[in-house]
Amino acid sequence: MIKAINLTKKFKDFTAVDGINLNVSAGEIYGFLGPNGAGKTTTIKMLTGTLKPTSGQIFIMDKDYNNYELEIKREIGVVPDEPKMYENLKGSEYIEFVMNVYKLNSNEIHSRFNEICDAFGIDYLNDYIGDYSHGMKQKLMVASVLMRKPKVIFLDEPTVGLDARAARILKELLQKYKSEGSAIFFTTHILEIAEKMCDRIGIIDHGRILAEGNLEELRSLSKLGNRSLEDIFLELTGGSEVKEIIDEL
């Protein structure tokens, strides 16, 4: 469902993403981990068509971005790291706008949207988005994407700003969509979430994928043996000296 071949992004002479390959299937949750500045958001922006790759190819549902950009954008769901929404619209007007853009008018979509709002406790649709907190915007953004039940869903650090209940609901919803065949690609800094939710995990640093696989496969790559994802992550990304740094403080 999501395929990237030799994907590269350079900003002038700095290479932010360096020839990565990705393959995410239907019914799979793929977690993309990496330290700050590793290249996660740049990758997601390329996969979702908001940033043009310097080189490489992207296929979404077997369609090449170069030939089917609009069709792909119509099909995918994207929850960006910052919920950018029209601040001068009310929540209800924003949802009407999204429904018009995507030409959605079925009872099914309306009732799914209402169910997601109930689950998240979104009871502020009559207020202006400009007055929402980050978490309130994030929940509305997630609802506006998931109501469409996209077959391919990208989320950039989706739980940031969500309270524990909303984060739990989001995790459950993603599991449900996965079980119904969606391919889900998300970035996170919360290793516990990746450990619990992902079928496969890719660890990126300095624009390159250092390791990829399920937890067992990542463990077998680690010199440390049967360790947590946090240990593996720190070992691979050069953070294993953390303890020594703390000890010296």
Ligand X SMILES: Nc1ncnc2c1ncn2[C@@H]1O[C@H](COP(=O)(O)OP(=O)(O)OP(=O)(O)O)[C@@H](O)[C@H]1O
In sequence order, the 6+-apart residues with CB closer than 8 A to the CB of 169 are: 119, 120
CB atoms within 10 A of CB 215: 17
- Residues in the interface with ligand X (CB under 6 A) total 10
For residue 142, the minimal CB distance to ligand X (Å) is: 19
For residue 220, the minimal CB distance to ligand X (Å) is: 25
Query: Looking at beta carbons only, is 98 or 191 nearer to ligand X?
Result: 191
Q: Select the residue interacting with ligand X from 1, 2, 7, 16 (CB under 6 A).
A: 16
Longest Cα separation, the chain? 61
Task: Work out whether strand 63-64 and strand 55-60 pair parallel, antiparallel, or are unpaired.
Answer: antiparallel
For residue 58, the minimal CB distance to ligand X (Å) is: 16
In sequence order, the 6+-apart residues with CB closer than 8 A to the CB of 32 are: 40, 43, 44, 185, 186, 187, 188, 201, 202, 204
Site string for ligand X, 23-62 (x = CB under 6 A): -----------x-xxxxxxx--------------------
- The closest alpha carbon to 135, from 155, 160, 172, belongs to 160
Query: Looking at beta carbons only, is 37 or 238 nearer to ligand X?
Result: 37
Query: Looking at beta carbons only, is 38 or 99 nearer to ligand X?
Result: 38
For residue 15, the minimal CB distance to ligand X (Å) is: 9
Alpha carbon distance, N-terminus to C-terminus of the chain: 47
Query: Looking at beta carbons only, is 116 or 237 nearer to ligand X?
Result: 237
Q: Select the residue interacting with ligand X from 11, 25, 100, 176 (CB under 6 A).
A: 11
Q: How far apart are alpha carbons 119 and 143 in whole angstroms?
A: 10
For residue 168, the minimal CB distance to ligand X (Å) is: 23
* SS3 of residue 79 by DSSP: strand
Query: Looking at beta carbons only, is 22 or 98 nearer to ligand X?
Result: 22
For residue 14, the minimal CB distance to ligand X (Å) is: 6
Residues that bind ligand X (CB under 6 A): 11, 16, 34, 36-42
